[in-house]
Amino acid sequence: MSGPGARPRLLAVASGGGHFHQLAALAPAFAGYEVTWATTLPGLAEEAGLGAGRLIPDCNRNEPLAIFRALWAIRRTVRALKPDAVVSTGALPGLIALWAGRRLGARTVWVDSVANAEAMSMSGRLAARVADLRLSQWPDVAAAEGAEYAGSVL
């Protein structure tokens, strides 16, 4: 935060598709923040009525080179925005954003996808290392994974 009366900056990050739709559903919880939306598909933030969004590269564990490209780009984005908090609903690009935000002193929140009803996602398990708060949308999964449950987004 900079200057008196300035709103805290929040970076909301998710891969395209269901991950982003769940993140967008959290928009009311971000009242009072200056929110920057980032996703892997162009135009998603605008289509959801959230204003202009930032485009970040997509990646997954099966494409190591794409992970390094995404790591560089997402780290640059986080450094440029200097968010006070980073929130993600997944997947790997969101985990990278949490890591980069944590390194800069941002508070970090991981909300695992509602699709993970049996077990937490791999990114959600890795988020335990960088998330100040890790949430599952299923009480049984939260209990088994050492995460918290605060309800479902959808």
- What are the residue boundaries of the structural domains of the chain, listed by start? 9-149
This model's pTM is above 0.85? yes
Name the nearest CA neighbour of 152 among 36, 142, 143.
Answer: 142
- Neighbour count for residue 85 (Cβ, 10 Å): 19
Neighbouring residues of 72: CB distance < 8 A, sequence distance ≥ 6: none
CATH 3.40.640.10 is right for the domain spanning 9-149:
no
* Predicted confidence (pLDDT) per residue in 82-115, tens digit: 999 999 999 999 999 999 999 999 999 999 999 9
Neighbouring residues of 98: CB distance < 8 A, sequence distance ≥ 6: 13, 86, 88, 108, 109, 110, 127, 130, 131
Say whether 108 sits in a helix, a strand or coil.
strand
Higher-pLDDT residue of 140, 2: 140
